[in-house]
Amino acid sequence: MSNTWKIYILAIASFLVGTSEFVIAGILDMLARDVGVSVAAAGQLITVYSLAYAIGTPILIALTARMDRKKLMLSALGLFFLGNLITITSSGYGMLMGARIILAISTGVFMVVALTVAAKIANPGKQGGSIATVLLGFNLALILGVPLGRLIAGSYDWKIIFTGIGVLSLIAMIVLLLTIPKSEGEAPVPIREQLALLKTPRISVALSISFFWILGYTILYTYITPFLLTITGMSERMVSIGLFTFGLASLLGSQVGGYGADKWGIPRTMVGGLLFHSGILFLLAAFAHSSMLVLPLLMLWSFFAWSTGPVQQVYLIGMAPQASGIILSLNNSIVQLGMAVGAVIGGIIVDSISLTAAGWLGGIGVALGLIPAVYSLTMRRRSAFEEQTLEN
């Protein structure tokens, strides 16, 4: 089997683990009703997932650094299967919480290792493309996994989704066992060394952009399904269509964001994306009752929201090229932390105010990200000017 096909297999596996993360937002109302908790309480399953991902992944990656990459990847998928098994056999909210923690840390470890393995087995000069392919599989979970999960849950039962994911993860383990070559581990990077980068003001300020960007996004996205059903008044079919177009727009936005960073520059692409992201969330809240307006606004929201991700990664790598892996790992943890906080804030707003208010607060959260963005870009420009002055 060619290395290209092996990378596609990794991409398919990343689609499975990605679906387990994103699908919850699409079936939140059904899950809440079945478990017997409020929608806001069900939303905290996203909070605990994100916290476990943010905290557990870097720790486990550091502890297992010397372990054979193939063995670690298979172990992560085995743990992932266990998380799905607990999900489908759960009898209450507490068991679901435990299952989400297991799914989070197994997904985090698998994605880090899959990206590493993809780069190692890629053909010369194709490392970047191989990583992009694996990430595409993960991102497709948002485009296809979420609306497909909604359709399955509406026709049968939401646990069928996790049954299918669990069975497919076992098949993925067998395929990976037979196709992926062994790969030696790496020298461990202590957590203390990873966190040391946070002491650098320009890096910590830049990372806070990711926090506020995803915080505002998650405040509304966590509760997007009940928002569309109860506030906008969409039918089940329209919600599925809305979730599909939302995911498709996220893919387009990500591609344009990467292109914009090269073509228009980081400052314009980043600040412009945040401005539009925030403004569209305000418009969603203002026109929440109009399904004709909400559907195109959903697409624009997703497009501009996900245009920020690649720009931010390019920006961060440029700050610490000698420690790009560590800074991207930190950024990933910050994003997951922002998702956790956003889900908590969203739950409080939905419980105490309304679903519509989540749109307003989400817009404010994203707008707050403009403060560190402008400050960080100003610091960058000043530093570049000082370096140029010294050279002259």
Share of the chain above pLDDT 90, in %: 37
pLDDT range class, residue 144, cuts 50, 70, 90 = confident
Predicted pLDDT of residue 317: 76
The predicted model scores a pTM of 0.83
pLDDT at 120: 77
Q: What pLDDT is recorded for position 359?
A: 93
The whole-number pLDDT of residue 162 equals 92
- Cα–Cα–Cα angle for 106, 111, 117, rounded to 5 degrees: 120
Predicted confidence band of residue 384 (pLDDT cuts 50, 70, 90): low
Q: Mean pLDDT check: name the lowest of 80-84, 142-146, 281-285.
A: 142-146
For residue 342, name the pLDDT band (cuts at 50, 70, 90): very high
**How much is the pLDDT for 99?**
94
Please compute, for residue 159, the number of CA atoms within 13 A of its CA located in the half-sphere on the CB side: 12
Query: 216 and 341 in contact (C-beta within 8 Å)?
Result: no
Residues 85, 144: Cα–Cα separation, whole Å = 22
Token duo for residue 371? 């403060």
The two tokens of residue 331 are 């950024």
What's residue 117's pLDDT? 82
Arithmetic mean of pLDDT, 9-13: 90
Angle subtended at Cα 253 by Cα 247 and Cα 256, rounded to the nearest 5 degrees:
150
Residue 126: per-residue pLDDT: 66
Q: How many residues does the chain have?
A: 392
pLDDT computed for residue 297 by the predictor: 94
Using 50, 70 and 90 to split pLDDT, how confident is the model at 372? very high
Q: Phi and psi for 15 in degrees, rounded to 5? A: -65, -40
Query: What average pLDDT does the segment 221-234 reach?
Result: 91
Per-residue pLDDT at 186: 61
CA dihedral defined by 229, 231, 232, 236, rounded to 10 degrees?
10
pLDDT of residue 332: 82
| Tens-place pLDDT, residues 258-291 | 788 878 888 898 999 999 999 999 999 999 998 8
Which element (helix H / strand E) includes 126? none
79 pLDDT band, cuts 50/70/90, is very high
What is the DSSP secondary structure assignment for residue 123, as one 8-state letter? P
Look at the block and give the residue holding tokens 């960007």: 213
**pLDDT, tens digit (0-9, with 9 covering 90-100), for 158-210:** 899 999 999 999 999 999 988 887 877 666 666 677 777 778 888 899 999 99
pLDDT by residue (tens digit) across 295-336? 999 999 999 998 888 788 778 878 877 666 677 778 888 888
Kindly state the greatest CA–CA separation across the chain. Answer: 70
- Find the mean pLDDT for residues 20-44: 87
Three-class DSSP category at 46: helix
Q: What pLDDT band is residue 129 in, cutting at 50, 70 and 90?
A: low
- Of the candidates 322, 329, 247, 274, the one whose C-alpha atom is nearest the C-alpha of residue 19 is 247
Q: Which of 61-70, 198-207, 230-239, 337-346 has the lowest mean pLDDT?
A: 61-70
Instruction: Give me the pLDDT at residue 154, please.
Output: 80
pLDDT of 1 strictly over 70: no
Question: Over the chain, what is the mean pLDDT?
Answer: 86
What local confidence, expressed as pLDDT, does residue 215 receive?
Answer: 95
User: What is the predicted pLDDT for the residue at 84?
Assistant: 94
Token pair recorded at residue 111:
């994605």
Residues contacting 365, CB < 8 A, separation 6+ = 212, 215, 216, 217, 219, 342, 345
